[in-house]
Amino acid sequence: MSEALDRLRLALREGVAPRVGAYDEQGVLPSEVVRTIAEVGGFGHTLPVAIGGQGLTARELGHAHALVGATCASLRAVLTVHAMTSAAIARWGSSAQRSEWLPSLARGERTAAFALTEPGAGADPSALSTTAVRASSGLVLNGQKSWVTNGQRADVFLVFARLEAEPIAVLLERSAPGLTITPIAPPLGLRAGMHAELRLESCVVPESALIGRPGAGLSWVAQHALDLGRLLVAWGCVGLTGACLRLAQDHARARRSGEGVLFDHALVRQRLARMASGLEGSRLICEEASRLRDEGHPHAIGQTLLAKYHASLAASEASASAVQLLGAAGTASLADAQRHFRDAQIMEIIEGPTPVLESELASHLSIWSEP
Amino acid sequence: MNEASQRSPEQILRAFLARHVPAALESEEDFFARGYVSSLFALQLVVFVEKQFGITVEPEDLSLDNFRSIGAMERFVARKRGVAP
């Protein structure tokens, strides 16, 4: 474990951190960054060693995503969607699909994306309206997908549609006829996430591209991927929150104010204490979610919801505090604090917006309420 | 002896469902159709039966017909274990 993390830490420090502000400003994650992370195994963290992956436990995987999240949330988002689709293939794909895709996905030679959201179906995937129809050539897909992170670069998309009424998941290759990929202009946060919109116009995939059987697309394939996605977003938030605390603390100790430094002020100390409390709460909930997941415990799913909920709120609060404490310097172009602040806003929306998570969490209360 | 060998699959399933479904269930009562459970519950059931009964749910097993009621899950678990329910 420590070796994979050490390699990742070094790659992030030398190959990503020096230009992370430019990636954000320009809204582009250069292909060299993808190669740098692929070389240290970052695209195969979730996949088994036997097929060229790193075989990390959920705990190790979490720590890796916290490292990435502390440096570049856009890269973290790309790795997360790649991991989600890889995991769906590994768990529910056929043996032919696994041998076709997993070795190159593990090495990062090809990358994946997750195409669930539609213009009319965001937080509620059951509103899905992309259609699939059986024809002699295979399945014919029609519809539109939005906010597909890594969509500008991905070689393969896990696309969700309805075959008659039944939700399905299919692997769609970038080269498929009828697929048009349009880059989305860099949004508020995760600007270098290479987001794209997909238009599927009589786009044909063979029946063998189905992941799982018809009917399983949302309840099992999408939810399995989203469950992993929530864990990785949560751990990414732990990294981001830790980065904000370090920025704020360093600034408060160094910045002269009256006779002393900012750190001497009770209100500044209160903010820093709240950031530390939010960070440690998030970290412990994430650790427990990872532990339950490694055990195959059914409570892992509910604990992961709590992890994403808590960690994204803590990241939002801590990043806002960091901007305020750093003052003008925190708001400057290319400053880390303002980037973390914008990224944290998106963390509260992706893989389940806060109000949706609250509603879902209320279905899992027995995990925490039972004596 | 582990828990699974002391209690019948039906008892184990009932105990798990009692924590998540706000009503007593008939053996063949479809708790998805009743709207008793959230959209994540189907996935949770897969994790639960794999851990509890030491079986592996395969892609071809992903049908609500295997998970929609206590009776359906009992039959599914028995089939995966290769024993009569």
Q: What is the pLDDT of residue B78?
A: 95
What's B13's domain CATH number?
A: 1.10.1200.10
Instruction: Kindly report, residue by residue over A124-154, the tens digit of the pLDDT.
Output: 888 999 999 999 999 999 999 999 999 999 9
Mean pLDDT score, A194-205 = 98
Domain that holds residue B68: 3-81
Q: Confidence band (pLDDT; 50, 70, 90) for B1?
A: very low
Interface membership of B4 toward A (CB under 8 Å): no
Check pLDDT > 50 for residue A42: yes
DSSP B23: S
The whole-number average pLDDT for the span B31-55 is: 91
Q: With a cut of 90, say whether residue A11 has pLDDT above it.
A: yes
Output the pLDDT for position A370: 84
Mean pLDDT, chain A, integer: 96
What pLDDT is attached to residue A123?
77
**What's phi and psi for A119, nearest 5 deg?**
-55, -35
Residue A342 clears pLDDT 60, i.e. is over it: yes
Q: Is the pLDDT of residue B4 over 70?
A: no
Strands A138-148 and A112-115: unpaired
> Cα–Cα distances in Å, from B25 out to A75, B8, B20?
47, 17, 11
Instruction: Note the pTM of the prediction, 2 decimals.
Output: 0.96
A44-57 mean pLDDT: 95
User: Which H/E stretch holds residue A202?
Assistant: strand A196-205
Residue of B nearest to A90 (CA): B59
Does residue B3 belong to the interface with chain A, where contact is any CB pair within 8 Å? no
Question: Among partner residues B48, B50, B62, which is closest to A216 by beta-carbon distance?
Answer: B62
Q: What's the number of domains chain B is made of?
A: 1
pLDDT, mean of residues A37-65: 96
B41 contacts in chain A (CB < 8 Å): 363
Residue A77 structure tokens:
């988002």
Residue B55 and residue B4 in contact, taking contact as beta carbons nearer than 8 Å = no
> Nearest CA to A221 among B49, B42, B20?
B42
Count Cβ–Cβ pairs < 8 Å, chain A vs chain B.
Answer: 66
Residue-wise pLDDT for B17-26, tens only, equals: 988 887 888 9
> Residues A107, A38: contact at Cβ < 8 Å?
yes
ipTM: 0.89
* Contact flag A212-B62 (C-beta cutoff 8 Å): yes
Q: How is residue A144 annotated by DSSP?
A: E
Alpha-carbon gap, residue A62 to A4, rounded angstroms: 12
Contact A45, A38 (CB under 8 A): no
**Residue A140, φ and ψ in degrees, nearest 5:** -105, 120
CA distances from B79 to A86, B72, B82 (A): 29, 11, 5
Q: Is the pLDDT of residue B64 over 70?
A: yes
- Report whether pLDDT(A284) > 50: yes
Q: Pairing between strand A166-173 and A196-205?
A: unpaired
* Confidence band of A181 (pLDDT split at 50, 70, 90): very high
What average pLDDT does range A304-312 have in this prediction?
A: 98
**Distance from C-alpha of A169 to C-alpha of A149, rounded to nearest angstrom:** 17
Nearest to A115 by CA among A23, A24, A235, A205: A205
Mean pLDDT value across residues A103-116: 98
Determine the average pLDDT of the residues in A333-352.
95
In Å, how far is B42's CA from the nearest CA of chain A? 6
Q: Which residue of A has its CA nearest to B51?
A: A296
Alpha carbon distance A60, A278 (integer Å): 21
CA angle, A203 then A207 then A209, to 5°: 75
On whether any CB of chain A is under 8 Å from the CB of B34, the answer is no
Q: Which residue shows structure tokens 């039944």?
A: A166
Cα–Cα dist A66/A160, whole Å: 29
How close does chain B come to A284, measured CA to CA in Å?
Answer: 22
Are B40 and A297 in contact (CB < 8 Å)? no
HSE, side-chain direction, 13 A CA sphere, residue A349: 12
Write out the DSSP string of A286-304. Answer: HHHHHHHHHHT-TTHHHHH
Give the span between the Cα atoms of A151 and A295, in whole angstroms. Answer: 33
- Residue B43 and residue A219: Cβ atoms within 8 Å? yes
From residue A350, alpha-carbon distances to A1, A21, A123, A320, B55 in Å are 28, 22, 9, 19, 33
- Check A216 against B44: CB less than 8 A apart: no
Phi, psi of A6, deg, nearest 5: -65, -45
Confidence of residue B39 (pLDDT cuts 50, 70, 90): confident
Q: What is the pLDDT of residue A139?
A: 98
B53 at interface of A, judged by CB pairs closer than 8 A? no
Average pLDDT over residues B49-75: 95
- Exposure on the CB side of residue A170, measured as CA atoms within 13 A: 29
- Residue B7 to residues A196, A339, B12, B55, Cα–Cα distance (Å): 52, 54, 6, 17
Does B84 have pLDDT greater than 90? no
Site of tokens 């996935």: B43
Beta strands in A56-188 (DSSP E): 112-115, 131-135, 138-148, 156-163, 166-173, 179-183
Selection from A201, A203, A183, A202 nearest residue A192 by Cα: A183
Q: How far apart are CA A272 and CA A278, in angstroms?
A: 10
pLDDT at A363: 87
What's residue A254's pLDDT? 96
Q: What is the pLDDT of residues A217-275, one digit of tens each?
A: 999 999 999 999 999 999 999 999 999 999 999 999 999 999 999 999 999 999 999 99
